[in-house]
């Protein structure tokens, strides 16, 4: 860090230190992907911070608290105020994401700060505050360790541990073993982890049958099986990442580099089995790369098109899905709560292994579902699910027991009880 940057940071810390903290003031900092996905308090069932805010704002216990909410969508501010008009609106303060100074001033007033990700950095935080990272993942597929291996090695890892120790007082997770893996993989301080669960996963236990009916009306046919496809982004396709490879980042289908005949066969399989796939491209992939073709068919509906017609988000979709198709995304650990079949689609596993890599090898050892590496194998898995086959049910039950401490809808309540007894 340059001398001038260090000086600016010290000034920010000094201002924060001198600002009186309100023990009943809470700052809510949703994940920055909300700006890409369109999530907000009107549609926040897939973001931990937004789920927690929506609960606490309704809880009479917090009527005399001051709430500061970071928002990403300037054009929706009035709709947020209208939405909160029955929840003691005088105590709710809206902070614009792009207003860095305003954000720091608001955080300086608060004793408690909730964030959704450790990517949110609060270097000006002082000991008279507590920062709580609710986390947006709970698994151990992707290898985050490469960030430190490739950006400074051991010294960088130690610096990250020191920074995280000072910045965050608590990290939440879904189980003790998950805490250990996350702490090691992200260079965090393990004793700061507590396994209370994620507010967004409480959503999975609600009745979302009306959403499924709405989707059926939208697509115009009776859905026998609904499958949500949640691929993650690829570092080798992202110009902002060091592993970017222009030769490999060519326009492709969401299924990889496949032929028109293969796509035609997939559509035929979906039609024969009455299956609808809702494809949710990762927001980073969608916003920062120009690789994925967003061409839907009668039986493949893109999430971005769905939300233009029906107000929803990922976790309600997971709740009504008969299965998911996933790759290396940690969404699979959210779907474990549903105890339903999983399809892993590893069409580019070697490229991914060479760039981001996996925290555990062989990756197959922690995959409780159909393992597929091409569209033909994936179609076989879809047919199995259509026929009610679930060959990995026993292994999935083991992983659920291992990775999910509380298999219930009470994570939000546990968080409130722990931090606001």
pTM (predicted TM-score) = 0.93
CB distance 37 to 283 below 8 Å: yes
pLDDT at residue 236, as a whole number: 84
pLDDT tens digits, one per residue of 358-389: 888 888 888 999 999 999 999 999 999 999 99
On the 0-12 / 13-18 / 19+ scale of CB atoms within 10 A, 137 is: buried
**pLDDT per position as a tens digit, 34-74:** 988 889 999 999 999 999 999 999 999 999 999 999 999 99
Domains of the chain: 3-202+408-419 (3.40.50.11820), 203-403 (3.40.50.12580)
pLDDT given for residue 150 in this prediction = 67
Burial of 209 (0-12, 13-18, 19+ CB in 10 A): exposed
Chain centroid, CA 153 distance in Å: 27
Backbone angles phi, psi at 125, to 5 degrees: -60, 145
- Two tokens, residue 136: 């947006």
Listed in order, strand segments (DSSP E) in 126-231 are 130-133, 170-173, 193-195, 225-230
- What residues are paired with 292 via a beta bridge? 252
CB 216 within 8 A of CB 295: no
Which residues in the chain show pLDDT less than 50? none
Please tell me the distance from the alpha carbon of residue 38 to that of residue 84, in angstroms, as a whole number.
18
pLDDT value at residue 413 = 98
User: Alpha-carbon distance 370 to 396, whole Å?
Assistant: 11
Q: What pLDDT score does 144 carry?
A: 65
């Amino acid at each position: 860090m340059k001398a001038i940057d260090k000086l600016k940071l010290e000034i920010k810390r000094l201002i924060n230190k001198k600002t009186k903290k309100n023990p009943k003031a809470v700052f809510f900092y949703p994940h920055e992907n909300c700006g890409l996905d369109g999530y907000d308090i009107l549609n926040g069932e897939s973001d931990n911070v937004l789920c927690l805010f929506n609960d606490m704002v309704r809880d009479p216990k917090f009527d005399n608290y001051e709430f500061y909410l970071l928002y990403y969508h300037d054009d929706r501010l009035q709709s947020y105020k209208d939405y909160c008009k029955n929840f003691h609106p005088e105590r709710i303060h809206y902070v614009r994401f792009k207003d860095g100074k305003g954000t720091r001033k608001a955080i300086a007033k608060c004793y408690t700060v909730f964030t959704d990700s450790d990517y949110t950095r609060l270097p000006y935080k002082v000991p008279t505050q507590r920062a709580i990272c609710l986390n947006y993942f709970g698994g151990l597929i992707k290898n985050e360790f490469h960030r430190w291996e490739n950006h400074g090695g051991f010294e960088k890892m130690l610096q990250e541990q020191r920074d995280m120790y000072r910045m965050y007082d608590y990290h939440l997770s879904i189980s003790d073993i998950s805490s250990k893996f996350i702490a090691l993989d992200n260079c965090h301080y393990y004793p700061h982890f507590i396994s209370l669960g994620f507010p967004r996963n409480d959503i999975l236990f609600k009745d979302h049958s009306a959403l499924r009916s709405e989707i059926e009306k939208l697509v115009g046919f009776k859905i026998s099986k609904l499958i949500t496809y949640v691929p993650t982004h690829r570092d080798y396709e992202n110009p902002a990442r060091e592993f970017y490879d222009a030769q490999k980042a060519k326009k492709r289908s969401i299924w990889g580099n496949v032929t028109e005949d293969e796509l035609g066969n997939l559509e035929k399989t979906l039609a024969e089995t009455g299956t609808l796939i809702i494809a949710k491209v990762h927001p980073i992939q969608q916003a920062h790369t120009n690789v994925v073709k967003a061409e839907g068919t009668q039986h493949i509906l893109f999430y971005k098109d769905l939300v233009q017609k029906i107000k929803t988000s990922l976790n309600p979709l997971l709740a009504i899905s008969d299965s998911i198709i996933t790759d290396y995304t940690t969404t699979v650990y959210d779907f474990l709560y549903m105890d339903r079949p999983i399809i892993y689609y590893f069409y580019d596993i070697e490229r991914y292994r060479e760039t981001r890599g996996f925290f555990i090898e062989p990756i197959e050892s922690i995959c409780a579902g159909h393992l597929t590496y091409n569209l033909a194998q994936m179609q076989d898995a879809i047919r199995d699910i259509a026929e009610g086959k679930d060959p990995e049910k026993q292994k999935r039950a083991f992983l659920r027991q291992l990775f999910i401490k509380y298999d219930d809808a009470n994570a939000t309540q546990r968080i409130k009880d722990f931090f606001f007894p």
